[in-house]
Amino acid sequence: NAGVMQNPRHLVRRRGQEARLRCSPMKGHSHVYWYRQLPEEGLKFMVYLQKENIIDESGMPKERFSAEFPKEGPSILRIQQVVRGDSAAYFCASSERQGFGNEQFFGPGTRLTVL
């Protein structure tokens, strides 16, 4: 059973370009979470999705950021018109069920560098 897959592992973009980060949850997991880790900081929650639904996006910046988890295919975190401050590691996690205590399994992350 493969773990959470994220691609690309490293992504370089110039200011103003778009970044698309992909996350394939573990087999059988229908809950996906995105976190951002800025340099020298802990992970910050961004968004929680189930298939075709955004459940909690309270950690998402109001502009330029969006996320989806379609019925088929991976979850996508999209950042439009990237700026240098978007440079960070973006981690995806998945869980089998909702509720307290359901372990979130983390992917290896995508490290975004904005030039």
Partner 1 sequence: AQSVTQPDIHITVSEGASLELRCNYSYGATPYLFWYVQSPGQGLQLLLKYFSGDTLVQGIKGFEAEFKRSQSSFNLRKPSVHWSDAAEYFCAVAQGQKVTFGIGTKLQVIP
Give the residues lining the site for partner 1 (CB under 8 A). 4, 6, 31, 33, 35, 40-45, 48, 55-56, 58-59, 91, 93, 95, 98-101, 103-109
Cis ω on the peptide bond leading into residue 108 (within 30° of 0)? no
Q: Residue 61 half-sphere exposure, CB side, CA atoms within 13 Å?
A: 12
Neighbours of 35 (CB within 10 A): 20
Q: How far is the CB of 44 from partner 1 (least distance, A)?
A: 7
Q: How far is the CB of 48 from partner 1 (least distance, A)?
A: 5
For partner 1, give the closer residue by CB, 40 or 63. 40
Helices (H) and strands (E) in the chain, counts: 0, 11
Q: How far is the CB of 103 from partner 1 (least distance, A)?
A: 6
Q: How far is the CB of 16 from partner 1 (least distance, A)?
A: 28
Beta strands in 38-114 (DSSP E): 43-50, 53-56, 65-68, 75-79, 88-95, 105-106, 110-114
For partner 1, give the closer residue by CB, 1 or 58. 58
For partner 1, give the closer residue by CB, 81 or 102. 102
